[in-house]
Structure 1
Amino acid sequence: MGCMITITVKWDVKPEYADNFLELTKEFTEACRAETGCLWFDWSRSVDNPNEYILIEAYKDGEAGAAHVNSEHFKKAMKEQGQYAATRPKVISYEIPQDGWNDLGEIEMPDGK
């Protein structure tokens, strides 16, 4: 098993863009999801703050992560998407020895699985 890259980005979106933010980032999202090394690229909207979006993305290894940040669609998005942000997006990035999601062992499942 190699080391995958996981990235979480918190976006504080300007109110005037909040309701159509996913549409505004759709082209970028689709391009990232189509990358060979992308494991997932998923947006969520906060239930507490309608102007906050969280992006959770993962890449199969460092090489895939590097290909992502060096891609033309990434460079284009970094030039254009700042206009939608109320503040500079915050990021957490890790390289971890996994190749996908692990089961949450602590939860009790009715069927024991």
Structure 2
Amino acid sequence: MPSLPVQIVTLAETLPEFRDEVFSVLSELAELCRQEEGCLRFDLYCDAANPNKLNTIELWESLEAHNRHLNSTHVGRGVLILIGKVKGLPDIRILKPLNELT
């Protein structure tokens, strides 16, 4: 049985004084992520009420493709650049359709 695509939502909050730098790093990272094998979608958003709150909405061919993404060189480099520029750790949520729960 083939694996189903995996939807991922990541939530993070930038420190206000680093917002422009964080946006720039994430925009560059998103371009690299979109080129990865197995990436079907990788979009960046900020909260309309609080632009320091950031989201990614991602769609990957499989959980394995997402795991490869998390272990990629460019993600590791991006994480290192963002240390101290965001509040805490990002909240990565792997979503499952409701109809798969029943």
With the length of structure 1 as denominator, give the TM-score of the two structures: 0.73
Deviating beyond 4 angstroms after TM superposition, the runs of 4 or more aligned structure 1 residues are none
- 2:22 pairs with 1:21: yes
Inter-partner Cα distance in structure 2 for 1:86 and 1:63: 28
Choose between structure 1 and 2: higher helix proportion.
2
Inter-partner Cα distance in structure 1 for 2:88 and 2:76: 19
- What is the match of residue 38 of structure 1? 39
Cα deviation for residue 95 of structure 1 reads 5.4
Whether the 8 Å contact between 2:38 and 2:61 is mirrored in structure 1 is: yes
With over 3 angstroms needed to count, the CA separation of the structure-2 counterparts of 1:41 and 1:88, relative to structure 1, is same
Greater Cα radius of gyration, structure 1 or 2? 1
Structure 2: state its 5+ residue gaps: 98-102
Whether the 8 Å contact between 1:13 and 1:87 is mirrored in structure 2 is: no
Whether the 8 Å contact between 1:12 and 1:85 is mirrored in structure 2 is: yes
Whether the 8 Å contact between 2:25 and 2:78 is mirrored in structure 1 is: no
With over 3 angstroms needed to count, the CA separation of the structure-2 counterparts of 1:92 and 1:15, relative to structure 1, is same
Tell me how many residue pairs correspond in the alignment: 96
Whether the 8 Å contact between 1:11 and 1:53 is mirrored in structure 2 is: yes
Cα deviations across residues 48-67 of structure 1 (Å, max 9, x unaligned)? 11211111111111221122
Whether the 8 Å contact between 1:11 and 1:52 is mirrored in structure 2 is: yes
